Amino acid sequence: MNLDQTLLAAAMGLPLLLLLACASARLRRRMPALFVLAPLPALAAALWAGHDSMLVLGNTRFALRFALDLPGAMLLGCAAVLWALAGMFAWRYLRERADSDGLVVCWLMTLTGCVGVFLAADMIGFYFLLAVLSVGASGLVLQGEGPQAVRASAIYLGLALLAEAFLLAGLILLAQATPDGSLLIRDAAAALPGSPWRDLTLILLLVGLGMKAGLVPLHFWMPLAYGEAPIPAAAVMSGAVVKASILALIRFLPWSTALPDAGHALALIGLFGAIYGVLIGITQSQPKLILAYSSVSQMGFLVAVIGMGLAAGDTGTALAAAFYAAHHLLVKGALFLAVGVVMLTGRRHRWPMLVPAAVIALGLGGLPLTGGALTKYAAKDLLGEGLAGSVAVVSSIATTLLMIHFLRRLSAMTAVEADARAPAAMVTAWLAMALASLLIPWALYLAIPIDTLPKAVAPAALWAALWPVLVGALLALGLDRLGTRIPQVPAGDVGEVLYPLEDASMAAGGWCERVDAFTRRWAVSCIALLLVSLLFGWTLMVG
């Protein structure tokens, strides 16, 4: 067990240990204080663990294997920072809450799942830890208390398990295709282009992971879940949990061989999602919902970047996508914490909270000298000049518009009495997160040679980043005048289709119950037995 393996083991082991310790009520009460410490080994692993060593649990045939590659390390590091600071926020948040057991257990479970998924190197481990992540996250949504929260959590879990079903089918197809039956994700990704069911596997994987990443037709769980979950939970889920599927996409897709048709289709869906997210976002009034729709939009954009990379077969995409995801992780987490803090501060003290929030929010839109500009710059050459490139510019304009709308709604949501001040721990957590979301992208950009610094800071690049932000700001002013005439879209937009679906399923249930009651009558059952024996006799004769 060299240093790297011990780091990996600690990163995975500490949260698991804390989760198991929750069994005793006494330990559970003192657990929130440890929330900050739990992700630190993961941060250490991200920073110092080597990228070639592998931690193996179990014997030759079925074993859990953990390893770390560069994109994984980048995302794990940022996620660990977000988990730690959100943990501090949650610790202070839990002090007022009476019944904190549920949140503590689900928090640690989600943390274990999240770290596990980032580290997982084999398919079975990945599938299991993704399941743990989904269950934990749906538990976090449940902590929102209220019938809406229960419904949101049920939808979240339902879709997560549906995604896992697609994923399982895809993984099995991959396992069938890998020559020597090894279950490593690396080997599976390598074997994917050559597998006899390549297209089917790709479709299953993309649908499964797309659903977890909130691609448009199946994104409605995201606004419902983030709207209902408590602030720290929403921060962590929108930040780290969603990135699990992005990292899976990065790891499972074969970057070496170009898959133009799949890549273009993915890019199309992604870009449509980017635009759609913003369109719905501007109609929302709740800051948390606006952020959720901004996540839908950003995820759409990120998937578009991956799609284009897949179409071009450019191995650099993995790093660019990971860099973009890392930045989004930090910014989204910070913004959610901002919402939490601003809601508790009075009108008179809101400005010191709103200014950093504004800077980060605009950064998401691509404000120069912020992380956002860097990520857009890194992703630019991938998207190329054609249709995708122009749509990328439109999306950054739209994001700026959405962010300004968010800031306006956020400033209106301050606490009732003017001079209320948010608790110190929350403010420090929020400010630290804001600082991190500004500095870390630069640190990452310098450490990982995506492009040389001077080119990024060159005036041409700066201007190319600035004018979409200005256009966005102008549009925001226009939006102000439209004001009331914007249609009010309910939180889950597409989710509304669920209600008639639920009635239809109740009807189907009723029909099934009548069928069951009919077949369980005595005469019917006996005749059924005779018919079954005759049927078997006949099929055997014919077959």
Partner 1 sequence: MNAPTLFGLCAAVLVGFGLYGLIVHPQPLRKVLSFNLMGSGVFLVCAVIARRGAAAGMGGDPVPQALLITAIVVAFAASALAVALMLRQFDETGSSSLSNDPGPAPAKPAAKGEA
Partner 2 sequence: MSPAAPVNLTTPGGLLLVLAVLLPFAGVLLGLVLGGRHAQRVAWLTILLGIGVVLAITRASLGSGASLVYLLGGWAPPLGVALRADGLAVCMMLVVAVVVGAVGVYANGDFGTPAGQRETRAALAFWLLLLAVWGSLNLVFVSGDIFTLYVALELLTFAGVPLVALDGRAETLQAALRYLVYALLGSMFYLLGTFLLYGAYGTLDIALLAERVGAQPVTWMAAALMTAGLLAKTALFPLHLWLPPAHAGAPAAASALLSALVIKGAWFLVVRLWVDVFPGIVSLPAAQLLAALGASAIIVGNIVALRQARLKLLIAYSTVAQIGYLFLMFPLVQALNATQQGNAAAVTGGLLQAISHATAKAAMFMAAGLIYSTLGHDRVADLRGAGRALPMTITAFALAGASLIGLPPSGGFLAKWLLLSAAIATAQWWWVLVMLVGGLLTSAYVFMVVVRAMAPAAPGWSPKKQVPGYQQAAVLGLALCSFLLGLAALLPFDVAQIGRAVVPLVGSP
Partner 3 sequence: MSIALHLALIALLLALAFWTVVARETFAAVAGFVSYGLLLTLAWVALSAVDVALTEAAIGAGLTGALLIGATSRLRKTEAAARAERPGRATRVLAAIVATAVAAAIAACVLLLPDPGPSLAPEVAQNLASTGVGNPITAVLMSFRAMDTMLEAIVLLFGLIGIWSLASDRYWGGRPGLAPVVEPNGILAYLARVLPPIGLVVGIYILWVGADYPGGKFQGGTVLAAMWLLLLMSGLHDAPAVSQRWVRLALVAGPAVFILVGVLGVFVAGAFLGYPEGLAKPLIIVIEVALLPSLAVTLTLLLMGPPQRSESSP
Report the nearest approach of partner 1 to the CB of residue 528 (Å). 10
Report the nearest approach of partner 3 to the CB of residue 529 (Å). 9
Report the nearest approach of partner 1 to the CB of residue 532 (Å). 13
61 or 520: CB nearest partner 1 = 520
The single residue among 460, 523, 540, 542 that binds partner 3, judged by CB under 8 A, is: 523
Q: How far is CA 76 from the centre of its chain?
A: 13
Q: Is 28 helix (H, G, I), strand (E, B) or coil?
A: helix
**Which segment (4-12, 34-42, 493-501, 520-528) binds partner 3 by CB under 8 A?**
520-528
375 binds partner 2 (CB under 8 A): no
Report the nearest approach of partner 3 to the CB of residue 511 (Å). 22
Name the residue type at position 465. A
The single residue among 412, 439, 486, 534 that binds partner 2, judged by CB under 8 A, is: 534
208 or 307: CB nearest partner 2 = 208
Residue 462 touches which of partner 1, partner 3, partner 2, none (Cβ within 5-8 Å per kind): none
**Which segment (70-78, 216-224, 437-445, 529-537) binds partner 3 by CB under 8 A?**
529-537
Place of tokens 């580290």: 119
Report the nearest approach of partner 2 to the CB of residue 259 (Å). 21
Residues 66-125 touching partner 2, rule: CB under 8 A, are 99, 102, 124
Q: For the chain, what is the largest distance between any 2 Cα atoms, rounded to a whole number of angstroms?
A: 87
Report the nearest approach of partner 2 to the CB of residue 255 (Å). 24
530 binds partner 3 (CB under 8 A): yes
Name the residue type at position 485. R
Place of tokens 């450019």: 314
Report the nearest approach of partner 1 to the CB of residue 529 (Å). 9
519 binds partner 2 (CB under 8 A): yes
Place of tokens 């274990």: 112
Q: Report the alpha-carbon distance of residue 255 to residue 382 in Å, rounded.
A: 13
513 binds partner 2 (CB under 8 A): yes
- CA-closest candidate to residue 301, choices 430, 377, 215: 215
150 or 268: CB nearest partner 2 = 150
- CA-closest candidate to residue 46, choices 8, 20, 99: 8
The single residue among 146, 181, 386, 454 that binds partner 2, judged by CB under 8 A, is: 181
Rg from Cα positions in the chain: 24
The single residue among 3, 30, 95, 158 that binds partner 2, judged by CB under 8 A, is: 158
Q: Report the alpha-carbon distance of residue 166 to residue 386 in Å, rounded.
A: 33
Residues that bind partner 1 (CB under 8 A): 517, 520-523, 526-527, 530
- CA-closest candidate to residue 245, choices 205, 209, 273, 215: 209
68 touches 76 (CB < 8 A): yes
Q: In the structure encoding, which two tokens stand for residue 327, read together?
A: 């930045």
- CA-closest candidate to residue 54, choices 95, 5, 107: 5
Residue 128 touches which of partner 2, partner 1, partner 3, none (Cβ within 5-8 Å per kind): partner 2
49 binds partner 2 (CB under 8 A): no
Contacts (Cβ under 8 Å, ≥6 apart) of 494? 217, 219, 220
Residue 176 touches which of partner 3, partner 1, partner 2, none (Cβ within 5-8 Å per kind): partner 2
424 binds partner 2 (CB under 8 A): no
Q: Report the alpha-carbon distance of residue 116 to residue 95 in Å, rounded.
A: 28
**Which segment (370-378, 442-450, 469-477, 534-542) binds partner 2 by CB under 8 A?**
534-542
Q: Report the alpha-carbon distance of residue 522 to residue 488 in Å, rounded.
A: 56
519 binds partner 3 (CB under 8 A): no
Residues 55-74 touching partner 2, rule: CB under 8 A, are 58-59, 61-63
- CA-closest candidate to residue 44, choices 72, 82, 16, 4: 4
* Cα distance between the two ends of the chain: 59
Name the residue type at position 228. E
Report the nearest approach of partner 2 to the CB of residue 218 (Å). 15
532 binds partner 3 (CB under 8 A): no
Residue 58 touches which of partner 1, partner 3, partner 2, none (Cβ within 5-8 Å per kind): partner 2
460 or 523: CB nearest partner 1 = 523
Q: Report the alpha-carbon distance of residue 334 to residue 106 in Å, rounded.
A: 21
197 or 442: CB nearest partner 2 = 197
Contacts (Cβ under 8 Å, ≥6 apart) of 390? none
453 or 526: CB nearest partner 1 = 526
127 binds partner 2 (CB under 8 A): yes
Residue 396 touches which of partner 3, partner 2, partner 1, none (Cβ within 5-8 Å per kind): none
Burial class (CB in 10 A: 0-12, 13-18, 19+), 518: exposed
- Sign of torsion over alpha carbons 213, 260, 200, 116: negative
Which residues sit at the interface with partner 3, rule CB under 8 A? 523, 526-527, 530-531, 533-534, 537
